[in-house]
Amino acid sequence: EAQVTQNPRYLITVTGKKLTVTCSQNMNHEYMSWYRQDPGLGLRQIYYSMNVEVTDKGDVPEGYKVSRKEKRNFPLILESPSPNQTSLYFCASSLGLAGVNEQFFGPGTRLTVL
Amino acid sequence: AQKVTQAQTEISVVEKEDVTLDCVYETRDTTYYLFWYKQPPSGELVFLIRRNSFDEQNEISGRYSWNFQKSTSSFNFTITASQVVDSAVYFCALSDKRSNDYKLSFGAGTTVTVRA
């Protein structure tokens, strides 16, 4: 089954404790993205990757890191989480550019930073 | 800068009613793409449709239809004979050639509640 998986689905942590949210896709997609969803703001792109070892900032990259060492995986890293990073996070993948192609989204990760 | 406005925050209808979701966009570019995504209560976003700026043809897919009007910069979405399963948050999104790598800009979303 074609899918994007994210783990964990729910996470409660404390300020400053490093965390990683994993994302994996099995569709051999070139392009992957991370978004955060906040009430009244829709989805905003954090980082994206057009291929292995190619990543770039989205609209709200501050406080986040990503890596793309393998085509299928695109982890999101919060080195020192803060309460303003409490949000719902989505990983997505697509054959090509997200603004041109259909994106496939993961189930979401609800993060709470205390 | 590109921008997407979904003026309706929430819409509540009774089953079998039609519901139209408005989407107004802003872009200076002549080449752009418009999307609708659905987010059901389960949370995972699902692609519904993509339309490019050179194709103003309206689209119908079952009970769903989309009306693209460049003259009013709108890409409205209508659900005909709504069902409870249509209850979801619906997002309109835009990307244009001027934005780096055709990045998507999402609207704030419209929450649709269909009551039995």
- Taking only the tens place, the pLDDT of each residue in B6-62 is 999 999 999 999 999 999 999 988 899 999 999 999 999 999 999 999 988 888 899
The two tokens of residue A7 are 């783990």
Alpha carbons A30 and A26: distance in angstroms, whole number: 11
The shortest CB-CB distance from B107 to any of A42, A99, A102 is to A42
Confidence (pLDDT) at B77? 96
Vertex A33, ends B113 and B76: CA angle to 5°?
35
Confidence (pLDDT) at A2? 87
B49 touches chain A (CB under 8 A): no
B47 touches chain A (CB under 8 A): yes
The shortest CB-CB distance from B104 to any of A88, A99, A105 is to A99
B28 touches chain A (CB under 8 A): no
Chain A residue set in contact with B, beta carbons under 8 Å: 40-45, 48, 50, 56, 58-59, 88, 90, 92, 97-108
Q: What is the pLDDT of residues A65-106, one digit of tens each?
A: 999 999 999 999 999 999 999 999 999 999 988 888 999 999
Q: Are strands A109-113 and A10-13 parallel, antiparallel or unpaired?
A: parallel
**How many C-beta neighbours within 10 Å does residue A2 have?**
10
Among all chains, which residue has been given the structure tokens 């890191």? A65
Beta bridge mates, A25: A4
B33 touches chain A (CB under 8 A): yes
Taking an 8 Å cut-off on Cβ atoms, the answer to whether B45 and A90 are in contact is yes
Judge whether residue B99 has pLDDT over 70.
no
Size of interface A-B (CB pairs under 8 A): 62
Residue B101: list chain A partners with CB under 8 A. Answer: 48, 50, 56, 97, 99
Among all chains, which residue has been given the structure tokens 């695109």? A74
Q: What are phi and psi of B70, to 5 degrees?
A: -65, -30
Cα first-last separation, chain A: 36
Residue B107: list chain A partners with CB under 8 A. Answer: 42
Taking an 8 Å cut-off on Cβ atoms, the answer to whether B33 and A40 are in contact is no
Do B104 and B95 form a contact (C-beta atoms < 8 A)? Answer: yes
Do B7 and B22 form a contact (C-beta atoms < 8 A)? Answer: yes
Q: What is the pLDDT of residues A5-64, one digit of tens each?
A: 999 999 999 999 999 999 999 999 999 999 999 998 999 999 999 999 999 999 999 999
Radius of gyration (Cα) for chain A, nearest Å?
Answer: 13
Vertex A108, ends B115 and A49: CA angle to 5°?
130
